[in-house]
Amino acid sequence: MDKKLQIGLFGFGTVGQGIYRVIEKAPNAHAEIRRICVRDITRHRSAPARLFTDQAADILDDPDTDLIVEVIDNAEASFSIVSEALRRGIPVVSGNKAMIARHLPELIELQKLNNTALLYDASSCGSIPVIRNLEEYYDNDLLLEVKGILNGSSNYILSRVFDHGESYSDALAKAQALGFAESDPTFDIEGFDSLFKLVIITVHALGVYVNPDQIFTYGISTIHDSDIRYAREKGVKIKLVAQVAKVGKGKFTMFVMPEFVRPGKYIYSVDDEYNGVVIRGECYDRQFMFGKGAGALPTASSILSDIMARRHDYRYEYKKMHYLDRPAYTADIDLRIYVRYSSTPVPDLLPFRSIREQYISEESCYVIGDINLEDLRANRDLLSAPDVFVANTSGFFEDLD
């Protein structure tokens, strides 16, 4: 057999350590970690000291590096390593969703110019092979929607709070201790991690890149007992959902926000750190992918799959980005949302098209109404008030997803 694939690994945090362990379990990968670049070389590590360096050049300049695996958690440092590797023609496997979502157009260009590959299935939904499936299988006009729970930590927190009556802060601390959360967990709970994954998914689903700053994103940090009580009374669960969907001719929309999910929906049963992705299309209706979305080994298993794919020279072709007839992004759609508030006068400030239901009490109030997504986006700051929580009531494509 050929010589072992020599891997230069950047990052030895939760996922980096997972990769080290997973490669040991996978003799058929015929791969070995040659060097590991970390920020602080003095820390004790669970791998032989001779492997570690704090100099990126020790990996990038090494002519025997066949492949770079990058799993550091600083998006800008990650971009500089990944772009430099691609410029040198070294293929890269990365799990860095923030970096990829922010720089994908440039990274696609770099792959083309330097005839090399960047694979990143691990960036979206941990162990679920969502990117490669969207890229390779759903290559047609039939795809209508990709929707799901893309963040393990927030889903874990919601499950612990909703099903086990734990406090939000205890649940968050556990998500951190279990290695699900980002080093800055704001990314998880404010919906940005889901947003970055959604941006990447949309490139492979519809062939269109949308800058993350253009997308309405709302997380779970202001959820309150009264929201949980309301959801329980209605027999639904609150899930943080990311969604991209075609809407009308030649248009699609996308957003991230909590949703009241009814029993019977596939994602209703997606609990703890699991992720679930519903792919809906003409002719085949709905398909559902389910699996662990966070944690060292699930994410490392996806990295391993990309490493194996590189053994066969696999690369994304971004075929859909070259189609003449690509849908255009719009936020001009109406959603029916629930907004809970206490001191912020939400019904006076948010430009609802119509109000369907309103409840006022001393402790907390809520309103359910129809609103344009553009208006929600324009009023994003108002919705950040600590007494406000927003959830989609899933009036959008209600019986389809």
Q: Which residues are catalytic?
A: 197
**Is position 152 an interface residue for ligand HSE (rule: CB under 6 A)?**
yes
| Exposed/middle/buried for residue 197 (C-beta within 10 Å: 0-12, 13-18, 19+) | buried
Residue with tokens 């027999």: 235
Q: Considering only residues 52, 138, 168, 180, which one is a binding residue for ligand HSE as defined by CB under 6 A? A: 180
Find out whether 235 and 215 touch, Cβ atoms under 8 Å.
no
Structure tokens at 94: 């990365």
Q: Considering only residues 182, 190, 271, 401, which one is a binding residue for ligand HSE as defined by CB under 6 A? A: 182
What is d(CA 123, CA 95) in angstroms, rounded to the nearest whole number? 4
What is d(CA 295, CA 151) in angstroms, rounded to the nearest whole number? 11
**Is position 277 an interface residue for ligand HSE (rule: CB under 6 A)?**
no
- By beta-carbon proximity to ligand HSE, the closer residue of 125 and 231 is 125
**Is position 276 an interface residue for ligand HSE (rule: CB under 6 A)?**
no
Name the minimum Å distance from CB 188 to ligand HSE: 5
Q: Report the C-alpha dihedral over residues 110, 115, 119, 123, rounded to 10 degrees.
A: 0
Name the minimum Å distance from CB 1 to ligand HSE: 33
Ranges within 91-120 binding ligand HSE (CB under 6 A): none
**Is position 293 an interface residue for ligand HSE (rule: CB under 6 A)?**
yes
Q: Considering only residues 254, 294, 339, 346, which one is a binding residue for ligand HSE as defined by CB under 6 A? A: 294
Query: H-helix or E-strand containing 149?
Result: strand 143-149
Give the up-direction half-sphere exposure of residue 128: CA atoms within 13 A in the CB hemisphere.
Answer: 25
Find out whether 79 and 103 touch, Cβ atoms under 8 Å.
yes
CA angle (115, 120, 123) in 5-degree steps:
155
- By beta-carbon proximity to ligand HSE, the closer residue of 56 and 157 is 157
**Is position 272 an interface residue for ligand HSE (rule: CB under 6 A)?**
no
CA distances from 71 to 122, 223, 283, 305 (A): 10, 31, 38, 15
Q: Considering only residues 78, 151, 222, 302, which one is a binding residue for ligand HSE as defined by CB under 6 A? A: 151
Name the minimum Å distance from CB 152 to ligand HSE: 4
**Is position 392 an interface residue for ligand HSE (rule: CB under 6 A)?**
no
- The interface region with ligand HSE, picked from 24-32, 180-188, 201-209, 317-325 by CB under 6 A, is 180-188
DSSP 49: G
**Is position 291 an interface residue for ligand HSE (rule: CB under 6 A)?**
no
- The interface region with ligand HSE, picked from 148-156, 280-288, 302-310, 370-378 by CB under 6 A, is 148-156
What is d(CA 327, CA 210) in angstroms, rounded to the nearest whole number? 12
The identity of residue 11, as a single letter, is G
Name the minimum Å distance from CB 360 to ligand HSE: 36
- By beta-carbon proximity to ligand HSE, the closer residue of 181 and 365 is 181
**Is position 271 an interface residue for ligand HSE (rule: CB under 6 A)?**
no
What would the DSSP string read from start to end of 3-35?
Answer: PPEEEEEE--SHHHHHHHHHHHT-GGG-EEEEE
Name the minimum Å distance from CB 129 to ligand HSE: 14
The identity of residue 377, as a single letter, is R
Question: Applying CB under 6 A, what is the total number of residues that bind ligand HSE?
Answer: 12
**Is position 259 an interface residue for ligand HSE (rule: CB under 6 A)?**
no
Contact residues for ligand HSE, defined by CB under 6 A: 126, 151-153, 180-182, 188, 193, 293-294, 299
